[in-house]
Every structure is written in C-alpha cells, then in structure tokens.
C-alpha cells in the first residue's frame, strides 16, 4: 500500500491526527522501499523509529492497532511499565523480541496451513471413511491378486477369487456412497471413535534467561523423552473433522521452513509498539534501586539500537525491526529520556487534543462509530435506536465540556457518556412496548443534567 492508501484506510477508523498517520504510513512504505534496494545497501538502511506524543484517548494506540491489521507484518503492543531492570524479578525487555517471534511463527503457520489445506482435506476424508468403514481396508490389500494368472487355479479357488473380487467392489461402492454422504453433510452427528494425543502439562523453569524462553525448550525435551499418551474418545464427525484436520496439517507443515521464514519476516518486517514510554522516563530515583525507570531505558537501548536476541526459534536480530513508542508525557518530556535512547527515536509526532468538532466526527464518521455500535447491539433485541443530529451534537458538547472541567481522557469520555445515556434503554430493551427509540438533545440532557449540575458527582460518574 502507498502512504496515501494507508492514511485513507486509517481515516475510516480514526478521526484527525494527520501528522501521526502520515509518519506511520511513510515508515511502513519505507519497509517496502528497503526491500527493493541492492543487498549490500539494504543492510545499512535502518528504520526511523517514531515517538507519538499526546494525551490519553486521542488515538495513539488505535493507530498502531489498525496499522497492525492493515499490514501483513508481525506486530505486538507492549507496555513499557511491565519490564524491570535485569537482575530483578520481572520481565526483561528482550522478551518483547521473543513475543514478536512467536507472532511471526503463528503467521507463517497460518500461511502454510492455507497451502496444504487441499491435501489435508483429502487426507481427513480418507481417515473419516476408515473410521466409518473399518473393515473396508482389509479387502484392498488383496486387490493385487486380481492381476495374477488364473489358468492354473481349480474351480474352488477361482470361485473364492471371484467372491473376494465382488466383495471388494461392494466395499468400494459402499465407500463411495459414504463419501458422497459425508460431502453432503448428512453424517455430521454420527459418532466415531478417535485416538487423540494427550498434551503434556507445560513444565516451567525460572532462569536468568527469562522464563518464557526456558520453559518451552525444556518442554520440547520432555516431549521427546516421554512416551506419547493417547486416549480414545467418542466424538461426532463434525468434531472429528476439526481434530483430524489439525493433525494432518501439522504433519504436512515443514517446521524448519516455518522457523526460517518466521525469523526472516520478524527481522525485516516486525513492528513493536511500546506504549507508556513516558512512565519509564524522568529523573533517577534519589533513594533505593531504580528498578523500572533508568534501568529499563538502559536495557531498551541495545534492543532498539540493534542486537541479537536468542529465542527458541534461533537468534533474531533487531536491527531492522520498526519501534513505535507512545506516551502522554504530561509529567515528563521526551527530552527526559536518556540521550542515547532519544537518538534512536528520530521522528517525533505530536497528537492534538480533541475538540468538540472531533467528538462530533468520532460519533458519526468512522466505519464502526460508537453510535452505530449501540444501534446494532440493541437491534439484536428488536429495538430500533436512532440518534438525531442534535442528539449527537449534545453528546459531543457534553463530552468536550466534562473533559475540560475534569480530567481530559480524550475520546474515552464518549464511552462513559454514551453508556450513561443508553443505560435505561439497554436495561429495559427486551421488555419495551415501543421498540422505536429516538435519542435527541432533549433526551441526552435529561439523562445527564442532574449529574452535570452536581460537580462532585460528575467527577465520579462521568
């Protein structure tokens, strides 16, 4: 997708914030441009990481979330606050690379599953027929005898041979009929006995390399050593098909190919979104160990700069992974970050506070706007919910006003206010005699007036 197409797609879900949209769109397009370069130049072109600065509820996380859905790239969103400095109990920052590698493996597996789907479906059909007609295979092994010369056989042997041939043909016709019924979906509730492999309980081992890296390695080792535990279960054909499909696709997928492709995909296309970066910046702690601020920044530096992280799929280099950081920075500034880390985020984009006009557009323009969500939710009860233009304007007006006089939480304020307005209809919905409900300005202000007038109450409720 071109940068313009990416921005147009983001516009369907996020109102305003054009600078941030343009920055991420250019960064994504630069990934594609880098792939077109000669190999010797390609390795020197590093991604330009981005910091998105703006108050809560203006769309930082939503931009990243929608971006992940747009591009077929491994993507994870992590909170900077959940990491601690190496040497303390908690997650180390390198675990984010292990997490994104797991995402890459899942994506490649899904892609490989689509490639082997046809062959796996055929295998599943044959296995289902074997389960439904367990005796049919006994005659198939003797089919080679038909080609042998029958001149030297006596009458009784010829008769036996003929009988077996007829039995085989009968079994084949039965199998074909059963296959036709299976394909037509007539046997979905028929019970069959299926052997299912029991999954072992994961073995967790703590180590300084990070628990998430060690436990699976030992798990694989135990799986190889311990004998397989199989269990026979009576399941319906529709459930057996899912279990067998999983078994057959796993058997057809080449694990080595999956691992190699996943590591390459993560190294060249991976995007890590680090939220709440402002919570780990600020002056050093004056008392006690500084576990989760300067220490985390120091640990983040090599990962963002470019290092090799050991994962259970092999070493993964972070040189060309794109890092997008975000934070409100209301108590600190990007300049409070360590200078080395600031240098690794050369692109700064500021997201603006939402105005009344923005709230108005948020309630009407996005593909799945909040007003549309509530209307569809209540439509499941047969309630026809309609928002008038002056009703939507009143919602936007109140949301903006409450944000101004209390804490500014951006577009999230709309959730609070809308929930309050629609609360009674949601509760009475199934029993309403009149299923046509119109929400206009009078209705909105009537539901919120009492709370708005009591300032202390409005701080708690809205």
Q: What structural domains does the chain harbor? A: 3-105+262-350 (3.40.50.300), 126-141+160-258 (no CATH), 356-461 (1.10.8.60)
- The per-residue pLDDT for 207 is 46
The pair phi, psi for residue 368, each rounded to 5°, is -120, 60
Closest CA to 244 of 301, 296, 195: 195
Cα 307 to Cα 318: distance, rounded to the nearest angstrom? 6
- The per-residue pLDDT for 438 is 92
Burial class (CB in 10 A: 0-12, 13-18, 19+), 376: exposed
List, in order, residues 6 or more apart from 178 with CB less than 8 Å away: 129, 132, 133, 187
pTM above 0.75, yes or no: yes
C-beta neighbour count of 165 within 10 angstroms: 15
Alpha carbon 144 to chain centroid, angstroms: 52
- The per-residue pLDDT for 209 is 47
The pair phi, psi for residue 149, each rounded to 5°, is -70, 130
Closest CA to 94 of 264, 250, 214, 237: 214
Burial class (CB in 10 A: 0-12, 13-18, 19+), 9: middle
Predicted confidence pLDDT, tens digits, the chain (462 residues): 899 999 999 998 898 899 999 999 999 999 889 999 999 999 889 899 999 998 888 888 889 888 888 888 899 999 988 887 766 666 788 899 999 999 999 999 999 999 998 888 888 888 888 888 876 554 454 554 554 555 556 667 777 777 778 888 888 888 888 888 888 878 778 888 887 776 655 554 444 444 444 445 555 666 666 666 677 878 888 888 888 888 889 889 998 999 999 999 999 999 999 998 988 886 555 555 555 578 888 889 999 999 999 998 999 999 999 999 999 888 888 888 889 989 999 999 999 888 899 999 999 988 889 999 999 999 998 899 999 999 999 999 999 988 888 888 889 999 989 999 999 999 988 888 888 999 999 999 998 887 777 766 777 777
List, in order, residues 6 or more apart from 394 with CB less than 8 Å away: 440, 441, 444, 445
- The per-residue pLDDT for 396 is 93
Instruction: Give the β-pairing of 322-327 and 271-275.
Output: parallel
Cα 113 to Cα 102: distance, rounded to the nearest angstrom? 16
- The per-residue pLDDT for 322 is 93
């Amino acid at each position: 997708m071109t940068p313009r197409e990416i921005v147009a797609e983001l516009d369907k879900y996020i109102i305003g914030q054009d600078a941030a949209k343009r920055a991420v769109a250019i960064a994504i397009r630069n990934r594609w441009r880098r792939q077109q370069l000669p190999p010797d130049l390609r390795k020197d072109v590093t991604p330009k990481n981005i910091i998105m600065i703006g108050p809560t509820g203006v769309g930082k996380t939503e931009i990243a979330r929608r971006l992940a859905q747009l591009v077929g790239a491994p993507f994870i969103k992590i909170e900077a606050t959940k990491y601690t400095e190496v040497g303390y109990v908690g997650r180390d920052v390198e675990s984010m690379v292990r997490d994104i590698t797991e995402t890459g493996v899942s994506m490649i597996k899904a892609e490989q599953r689509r490639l082997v789907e046809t062959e796996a479906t055929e295998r599943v059909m044959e296995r289902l027929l074997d389960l439904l007609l367990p005796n049919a295979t006994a005659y198939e092994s003797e089919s080679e005898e038909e080609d042998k010369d029958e001149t030297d056989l006596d009458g009784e042997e010829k008769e036996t041979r003929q009988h077996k041939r007829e039995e085989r043909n009968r079994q084949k016709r039965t199998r074909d009929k059963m296959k036709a019924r299976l394909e037509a979906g007539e046997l979905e509730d028929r019970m069959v006995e299926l052997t299912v492999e029991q999954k072992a309980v994961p073995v967790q081992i703590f180590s300084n390399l990070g628990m998430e890296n060690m436990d699976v390695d030992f798990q694989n080792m135990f799986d190889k050593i311990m004998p397989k535990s199989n269990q026979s279960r009576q399941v319906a054909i529709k459930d057996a098909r899912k279990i067998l499909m999983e078994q057959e696709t796993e058997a057809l997928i080449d694990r080595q190919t999956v691992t190699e492709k996943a590591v390459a995909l993560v190294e060249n296309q991976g995007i890590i979104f680090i939220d709440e970066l402002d919570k780990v910046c600020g002056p050093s702690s004056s008392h006690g160990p500084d576990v989760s601020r300067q220490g985390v920044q120091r640990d983040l530096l090599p990962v963002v700069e470019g290092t090799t992280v050991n994962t259970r799929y092999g070493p993964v280099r972070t040189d060309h992974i794109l890092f997008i950081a975000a934070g409100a920075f209301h108590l600190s500034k990007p300049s409070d970050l360590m200078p080395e880390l600031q240098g690794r985020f050369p692109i700064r984009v500021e997201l603006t506070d939402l105005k009344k006009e923005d709230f108005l557009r948020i309630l009407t323009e996005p593909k799945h706007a909040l007003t549309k969500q509530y209307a569809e939710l209540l439509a499941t009860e047969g309630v026809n919910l309609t928002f008038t233009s002056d009703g939507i304007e009143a919602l936007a007006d109140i949301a903006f006003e409450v944000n101004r006089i209390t804490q500014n939480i951006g577009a999230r304020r709309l959730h609070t206010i809308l929930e309050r307005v629609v609360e009674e209809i949601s509760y009475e919905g199934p029993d309403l005699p009149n299923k046509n409900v119109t929400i206009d300005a009078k209705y909105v202000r009537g539901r919120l007036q009492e709370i708005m007038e009591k300032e202390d109450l409005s701080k708690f409720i809205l």
